[in-house]
Amino acid sequence: MKAIKFLMIASTACVLANSAQAADGTINFTGEITAASCVASAGAGSSVGGGQGQQIVEVNLGKVSMDALGGSAEAGLAAGTSINLNLDCGNTAAGLTTVKFGFDPMSGSGIDPNNNSLLKTTGSAGGVGIGMYDENSQLINLSANEAYSAALTASGEGEQAKYSAALNMRASYVANGSELKPGTANGTLPFTLTYE
């Protein structure tokens, strides 16, 4: 009888343990797959390689003096480098008005541990992250899923319309508040184009 009581208690405990793993809420995803497909070509400050959907934008931030960073996060950025990209969407963007350049730092170098708005740098340098800025020199918060948006413009009408967009951003080394150390400061920042 004791064995049966123990078995019943153990079974009840298992059921209760499974109940403790019940959901606390639900995440509902919405979206749409669009035929829009844009190819980037480089403007000033960058070069673009790779094929459609696998493009690589190369940006050379140059050799920046620690003095230019000011030695603290309050000093801000140093000599930004333009990233001007021209998007050619052909006739695939009919009915759309905006293209968004979204960033995925966690699939790249990561978020800077001292300033989560910045991209973490790899290499031997210390005390510095990489900041991405919009055309108004406003820092894009990389940890908050902020994106850079640009208008899609059409030339021509109807089925003959061709769509394009100009993305004018800037990147810069930014002091992150920890001790500055000279050395290499590279970074990788995957991006995705989305449309509205």
Q: Where are the beta strands (DSSP E) in 19-177?
A: 39-42, 47-49, 56-58, 77-90, 98-103, 119-120, 128-133, 147-151, 153-155, 162-175
Q: What is the value of pTM for the model shown? A: 0.79
**pLDDT level of residue 57 (50, 70, 90 thresholds):** confident
What tokens were used for 16?
């209760």
Residue 33 has pLDDT above 60, yes or no: yes
* Burial tier of 188 (Cβ tally within 10 Å: 0-12, 13-18, 19+): middle
Answer whether 165's CB lies under 8 Å from 93's CB. no
Residue 171 has pLDDT above 50, yes or no: yes
- Mean pLDDT over all residues of the chain? 80
pLDDT at 1: 45
Residue 158 has pLDDT above 50, yes or no: yes
Q: Please report, to the nearest 10 degrees, the dihedral formed by the alpha carbons of residues 52, 167, 171, 63 taken in order.
A: 70
Return the HEC string of 3-41.
HHHHHHHHHHHHHHHHHHCCCCCCCCCCCCCCCCCCEEE
Task: Indicate the length of the chain as a whole number.
Answer: 196
- What is the average pLDDT across 103-107? 93
